[in-house]
Structure 1
């Protein structure tokens, strides 16, 4: 998910009562909820598609979820000591307890991979012990409705706290509402996948991708052999599933085992890709794409060109 969502998750956890545990609890929760995204620094040393295979891996796995919160807790504890020595420590700050700082940093960090799992990009929960990808297919990466739930609950809680009321109750309501919204979207995805499988056959691969803003809709993809197609459910005309090719001219997926060894860009793309398909370029070569992120208006995103591989066209459907 986007970093605003991660930050709001940390904030609502704090407003549910966790911020009472120690001084600097809110920074521990909010920064902790964003910690695994330190892997975004890979853009400084990786090029092309290499970042696709690096993101949501090592910094989202078990060792990082133990070590990164420890570093954050140590920095926050040191910051508090530094302010105290300089006489700059706010009078209203609660005493800082290192154990609670670490625990809250860990809770915040743990929330991050759980929410990243909810979209179609995927996450490698067990890196470096396993490089398997996991996909929740439940929420779009930027979900304005989840934003609204979390923002309102945090605002309500802060307002109640300022007035001396029960400020933890709005936090818990926000958590419950957020979980209910996620559960509803999980059910929508499950129903869509069931419809797709019933329409195209259980042997086909199907993906139900959440749509931005229209949370009740899913963009369907079906894959078989070398071809991935976009699915459309037509109501009320006939109620049958219809598939449309993603690209104007599709190519057979070539055997790229040898090329993959020598081409780090290709290796990263194929490691990351969940729904790969090949499209013919203007010069007759191949461009590898992924059905989840195929956008004709931004054709260079999430793709890799193979200028030395000739397109072997698939028959039209």
Structure 2
């Protein structure tokens, strides 16, 4: 394996330390910005755009409109008394952020080198050694920044770190097959068993996803399929049965069920985006016992 390029840059929006839910052991999770899917229930909508963007907090805003006046690119406009920021025009000079009297504008995402990310990850190296943990690449979708991900994974391997990823698996098989050689453990999301329903809920169908999942499992990689259980989308008992069929087809006998939650609801507000699941009650493990039992009855080791 060649040496990593530690100066390769990428756009991330968070680095979360001491995570115990994103792979084995204690882990540091690096959240990549950009995602080819636009799931209607997405808990990280700020991750969907692949570049740095500006968020507006209406609750803090004085409506002085100073930001409209100071923006030389005319990227900021007023729509129905709401601030709208055109990401295609914005050059991220951050003048609006720096001069907002109430700090109602903030930026989401930052450019970092492999070295900068690894420096943060290695701060908890002792915890990885004691718990068999390591680094997890998440997002967004890390496969959208393949070169940055590749260099970061190679650098992690140079430091003998266990590597994990959380992925939609939506990319060309060639790209997928190339990148997973550097990954020890794959947390693989499966949103819907039906390609058309998958398209309706996420903006893309599931053909590439299932192809890549099947390939990863066939090579002996450690793959954990994960199903986000979403109300009125994939939460029926019939859906559970059909998921079992798909899992058998790709060669998996296990999956993790992720009950729908509302942790990301406020982020839509900050992005001035409509949220399709507003006021939708969260699901809990006790709500999905029959759903879970379908998997168990079909020889799929399912758990929450």
When you count strand as a share of all residues, which structure comes out higher? 2
Higher relative contact order (CA 8 A, sep 6+): 2
Q: TM-score, normalised by structure 1?
A: 0.23
Which one has a larger percent helix, Structure 1 or Structure 2?
A: 1
